């Protein structure tokens, strides 16, 4: 392995008793960072471990599994997928091979069977080599949920709630009831600009409002550090999405060209956040196109 690809070992951080997470970098996925750009977590129950998301490469998932085994000898029996974006699922094969049951929301099945998923994997095999290679495979869920579900494992209740369509059609959030911990997936980006992509930003804003009603004590976002002030941090993501819709919606309604609208918009509130220069213009453009189709609303 090339020396410039060496990286610090992954280390789990305690969230609450029996609840842990690992935090990815605020960066784009690359060979240099092993595609370690998202978060994942795990909960140690009385008889087994429940993992939430599987990170962005099999090598990272192997490190996460080793970290779990450093903390507990209990087996990993379940992996819950918050959504089927590459940086959260390319490690699934490691947990599947270790005997875990994979749970996802049925909207993810459509993506997995799409040309987009295959093209993304092919591109990742080039761009993220050697961490993503010909042995990396897409892993479907063993159980596809239609809506929400309460999963009871080893004396713990996991409330799985379908929050999509929002960031993706299949967004699942996971509330660990006894610990007051919410795994929010990519509904919440903390300390960086969100990736909006083809998201349904209107429903995403609504979903964040619903998450606030769950009153979690701690939120594990899909990206960024833990949130011990959930109301403030969920509101920050909502505010960003609402600002995109407000500014780009007005431009679309007025038939103002995108480049002109983008240049005239005051981005000062958000431009100091990591990945602003990488993601904000594309977020704004996708929102402009979405609202152009919807007549600016």
Long-range (24+ apart) CB contacts under 8 A made by 96-100 are: 96/139, 98/65, 99/75, 100/51, 100/76
Phi, psi dihedrals of residue 120, rounded to the nearest 5°: -65, -40
Q: What is the mean pLDDT of each run of 10 residues along the chain (297 residues)?
A: 54 97 95 96 98 98 98 98 97 98 96 94 97 97 94 97 95 96 96 90 93 91 94 89 96 96 97 94 96 80
pLDDT of residue 3: 35
Non-local (6+) Cβ contacts of 140 within 8 A are 102, 104, 109, 112
Domain ranges of the chain: 3-230
Strand order across the 181-189 sheet = 149-153, 156-162, 172-176, 181-189, 218-223
pLDDT of residue 1: 37
pLDDT of residue 296: 62
Q: What's the CA gap between 172 and 181, in Å, rounded?
A: 14
pTM above 0.85, yes or no: yes
Task: Return the structure tokens found at 58.
Answer: 């099999």
pLDDT of residue 147: 86
Look at the block and give the residue holding tokens 């842990």. 20
Q: What is the dihedral of CA 70, 73, 78, 81, to 10 degrees?
A: 0
pLDDT of residue 88: 98
We find that the CATH architecture of domain 3-230 is 4-Layer Sandwich (3.60)
């Amino acid at each position: 392995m090339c020396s410039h690809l060496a990286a610090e070992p992954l280390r789990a951080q305690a969230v609450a008793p029996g609840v842990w997470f690992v935090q990815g970098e605020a960066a784009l996925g690359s060979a240099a960072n092993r595609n370690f750009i998202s978060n994942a977590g795990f909960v140690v129950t009385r008889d087994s471990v429940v993992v939430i998301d599987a990170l962005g490469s099999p090598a990272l998932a192997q490190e996460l599994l080793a970290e779990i085994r450093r903390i507990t000898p209990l087996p990993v029996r379940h992996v819950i997928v918050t959504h089927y974006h590459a940086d959260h699922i390319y490690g699934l094969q490691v947990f599947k091979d270790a005997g875990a049951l994979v749970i996802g929301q049925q909207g993810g099945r459509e993506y997995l069977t799409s040309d987009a998923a295959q093209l993304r994997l092919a591109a990742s095999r080039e761009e993220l080599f050697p961490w993503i290679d010909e042995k990396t495979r897409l892993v479907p869920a063993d159980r596809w949920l239609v809506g929400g579900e309460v999963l009871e494992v080893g004396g713990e209740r996991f409330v799985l709630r379908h929050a999509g369509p929002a960031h993706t059609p299949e967004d699942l959030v996971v509330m660990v009831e006894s610990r007051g911990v919410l795994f929010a997936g990519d509904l919440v980006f903390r300390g960086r600009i969100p990736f909006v992509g083809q998201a349904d930003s209107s429903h995403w804003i609504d979903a964040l409002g619903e998450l606030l009603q769950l009153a979690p004590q701690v939120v594990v976002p899909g990206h960024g550090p833990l949130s011990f002030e959930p109301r403030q941090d969920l509101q920050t993501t909502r505010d960003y999405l609402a600002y995109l819709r407000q500014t780009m919606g007005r431009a679309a309604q007025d038939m103002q060209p995108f480049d002109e609208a983008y240049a005239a918009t005051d981005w000062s509130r958000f431009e100091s956040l990591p990945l602003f220069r990488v993601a904000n213009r594309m977020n704004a453009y996708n929102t402009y196109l979405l609202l152009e189709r919807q007549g600016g609303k």
